[in-house]
Amino acid sequence: MNERIKGLINAPFTPFHKNGEVNTAPIERYAEMLKNNGIKGVFVNGSSGEGYLLTDEERMRIAEKWMQHTSPDFKIIIHVGSTSIKSGMQLAKHAQEIGAWGTGAMASPFPKATRVETLVEYCAQIAASAPKLPFYFYHIPGLSGVYLPMLSFLEAADGVIPNFAGIKYTFENQYEFNQCRLYKNGKYDMLHGQDETLLASLAMCGTEGGIGGTTNYNARELNGIISAWQQGDIDTAREKQNFSQAVINIIIKYRGNIVAGKRIMKLIGLDLGNNRLPFQNLSGDEEISLKKELENIGFFERCNKF
């Protein structure tokens, strides 16, 4: 329970067939590509994976497929959050049964927890269903709509959730993130979740681990930021962070990482299919425009390689 995540974990997309059914066939090649580009594991069925749009059976099947590619240096963490507490508990139990490294859950987007105590109880029941696995709360208020203070959450969860490991923190407040890292001399594992501010988090907070979405296709540059920072090469770290922000500046024009990022995977050689409704997929013309904008910043020379 005390092992800390070092390096970058990826939040993979869920592959679909043309008819909209889950397609697990690309996962083997997907896993090898991520490993080859320095990724230390995956956070399966999260927001990038359209987890809330999948059935419980689909989520378990995808988790089982990813587990075929686990190794000591490639962790499989399963997102088990759900609008149904019963589903979350079942998914957590399944994650433990198949040997996942850990579990995580974001706050339910419906109904939204309005009290820290309610959120802690929600997490406690899910975490208790996989008591042998470290549990991470996935703080992403931009999607969940739950903007509760995370330092207060840590204080309330401390000692209440025995297998509570820390927070995947996907929010802009680096001050709050750092305060959480400092809580009880760094008792909990705080994972950086915003690829656009990785360098700032390394410098201000001493970040050691993170879970990203653009790592699907830009892990080489993001890992490069960490390497340059560790070597004291601030100019290179800053250039790579600026490049990574340029990539993000493009994808936000095409409905963000979940939609545009999934299409980028096709452009670099791994077609994972479309997104499920209610996501609006890119048109053919939009894909051409996206590719051109990425070419203009030299993305395809610096992106993940197979």
Q: In Å, how far are 216, 272, 294 from 125, measured between CA atoms?
A: 31, 33, 44
Q: In Å, how far are 13, 40, 249, 304 from 36, measured between CA atoms?
A: 17, 10, 26, 9
* Residue in 40, 65, 168, 262 annotated catalytic: 168
Decide if 291 is catalytic: no
Give per-residue burial for 122-133: e unless 16+ CB within 10 Å, then b.
Answer: bbbebbebbeeb
Is the CB of residue 144 less than 8 Å from the CB of residue 107? yes
* Residue in 30, 52, 138, 169 annotated catalytic: 138
Token readout for 119 is 């959120």
Is the CB of residue 52 less than 8 Å from the CB of residue 82? yes
Decide if 168 is catalytic: yes
Residue 281's Cβ-count burial label (10 Å; 0-12, 13-18, 19+) is: middle
Residue 85's Cβ-count burial label (10 Å; 0-12, 13-18, 19+) is: middle
Active site members: 138, 168
